[in-house]
Amino acid sequence: MSTDLLTSSEKYDTIVALATAAGVGAIGVVRLSGVDAISLSDRIFKSYKGIPLADVPSHTVHLGRLGTQESLIDECLATVFKGKQSYTGEPVVEFSCHGSPYILREVIKLCLANGARLAQAGEFTQRAFLNGKLALNQAEAVADLIASDSQAAHQVAIQQMRGGFTSEIETLRQELLNFTSLIELELDFSEEDVEFADRSAFETLLKTVKERIKFLLQSFSVGNVLKNGLPVAIVGKPNAGKSTLLNALLNEERAIVSAIAGTTRDTIEETIHIGGIAFRFIDTAGIRDTEDQIEAIGVQKAKEKIAKAAMVFYLFDEQESTPEEIIHFVEENYQKDSHWVLLHNKVDLPTEANSLFDESILQAVAPYTQTLLKISAKEGTHLAALKDFLSSYAQKLQHTADATMISNIRHYEALKNALEALEKVGEGLALHLSGDLLSIDLREALYHLGSITGAVSNDEVLGNIFSKFCIGK
Ligand code: GDP
């Protein structure tokens, strides 16, 4: 889709697009939005009751014939939204037709012949934003909602769409704006050396705003996991059973299982949904010192995956590992804020009884993790316990989700930039800098905060955001 900027007259064109998925369906919806949506519809649609759509009340549905005098395209329902009461904030008509791609194509062609133009990606939602129906971050949440494929992603998106932290950001911005105006007013009276803005009250406000921004920034790590899933790295020596475990969890033979050491060279990613969260499993090459070039890359990749993962499954078996090796591996690779699950695999195999094997590991790795499960990936033993662990982990994460959580990288960047600017304002205040210098950084912070909700925006940013939407949304 092109991100061509819309001219102001185009913003008010009547646009048309298929609102349902392409392909054959029970029904297909063609959506029209714009000042002429209703008059255009009256040229191509005749309701069986004989009342023009221009004369029916808003939010009503009408059965009728769609087509030209000469040829009927379909018998369908027209839903009418009038005035500003629609999704886009302008007149909208939605034709619910029989879901034949041919019919839907013909209906769109007829709308085009009658003066509409094809909508660009996300243009309906863009209009909702431009007409003040949605803040920019709410509009973005609409795209997230459509893309959501887990309960958690859905929960985050729907909270954002219903307002999320919009009002909080707007309040913070308004308070900062009031102060900025007072400081800028002083500039007009610079000869007289007056201070309209109470500096200590300003410092208090600044502190509050910075704390809130920091809180929102911190919420991003959880928000991002809820939205995009939790990356789990499966690591361990070659032949520890990583592929077997992944297959068992996925219940399908995606990864290559082989008795020859070091065959899982590429990383494979698979997603399973447990407790409403998408766990994104990353299978990795066995970690060991190796001379083999290709495998060395695999080993490096495994280390990189650990770095990117929020959770690490470390597999070992008693036949091939010593507690010392395992402890050493955890100590060497553990990263702060990641959750490690030690999986003692192959418990179906006989071992020389060492009742202290697991205990000695747990004792030594206590600063990092206390989760150790005995499993047999091959036999499926205790995999239910592992899934239960993931399920309760998912539930804990979901509980932390609330309306003031951020999950969008654009919002994260904007908040980070706003915080940086506010830090500079704080430094400026401490140095008793003049109002004109403070105002520069304040304006910068206001700009970044405003860019989140769209209080300030430019066509390039909007083009970027809405081009990621689908056509018809
Ligand atoms: P990876 O290199 O870590 O991915 O290991 P694989 O999943 O390819 O497994 C290596 C070998 O160990 C295969 O022959 C598996 O069948 C076997 N294996 C994996 N898990 C178990 C288990 O729980 N018990 C037994 N007995 N063998 C297992």
Q: What are the tens digits of pLDDT across the range 385-438?
A: 999 999 999 988 888 776 678 999 999 999 999 999 999 999 999 998 888 889
Q: What is the pLDDT of residue 402?
A: 67
Q: Round to whole Å and give the CA distance between 349 and 421.
A: 61
Quote the Cα angle for 398-400-404, to 5°. 115
- Written as one string, the DSSP assignment of 42-69 is HHHEEETT---GGGSPSSEEEEEEEE-S
Dump pLDDT digits (tens) for 317-374: 998 899 999 999 999 899 888 899 999 999 999 877 677 889 999 999 999 999 999 9
Q: What is the pLDDT of residue 404?
A: 77
Confirm or reject: Cβ of 256 under 6 Å from ligand 1. no
Q: What is the pLDDT of residue 284?
A: 53
Of the listed ranges 91-100, 216-225, 246-255, 280-289, the least confidently predicted one is: 280-289
58 C-alpha to ligand 1 centroid (Å)? 64
240 C-alpha to ligand 1 centroid (Å)? 6
249 C-alpha to ligand 1 centroid (Å)? 14
pLDDT at 16 over 80: yes
Say if pTM beats, i.e. exceeds, 0.75.
yes
Q: Tokens at residue 124, please? A: 């309906």
Confirm or reject: Cβ of 213 under 6 Å from ligand 1. no
Q: What is the pLDDT of residue 67?
A: 97
Confirm or reject: Cβ of 378 under 6 Å from ligand 1. yes
pLDDT at 77 over 90: yes
Among protein residues, the one with the nearest Cα to ligand 1's atom 13 is: 259
Sheet holding 72-81, edge to edge: 45-47, 60-67, 72-81, 92-98, 27-33, 15-18, 117-118
Q: What is the pLDDT of residue 257?
A: 44
Which residue among 250, 257, 295, 320 has the greatest number of ligand 1 atoms within 8 angstroms of its CB, and so is best to mutate? 257
339 C-alpha to ligand 1 centroid (Å)? 23
Q: For strand 60-67 and strand 45-47, is the pairing parallel, antiparallel, or unpaired?
A: antiparallel
pLDDT at 105 over 80: yes
307 within 8 A of 235, measured Cβ to Cβ = no
Which residue among 244, 282, 375, 376 has the greatest number of ligand 1 atoms within 8 angstroms of its CB, and so is best to mutate? 244
Mean residue pLDDT across the chain: 87
pLDDT at 292 over 60: no
299 vs 216, which has greater pLDDT? Answer: 216
Confirm or reject: Cβ of 265 under 6 Å from ligand 1. no
Confidence of residue 243 (pLDDT cuts 50, 70, 90): confident
Q: Tokens at residue 5, please? A: 């900027």
Q: What is the pLDDT of residue 283?
A: 59
Highest mean pLDDT among 48-62, 219-233, 354-368: 48-62
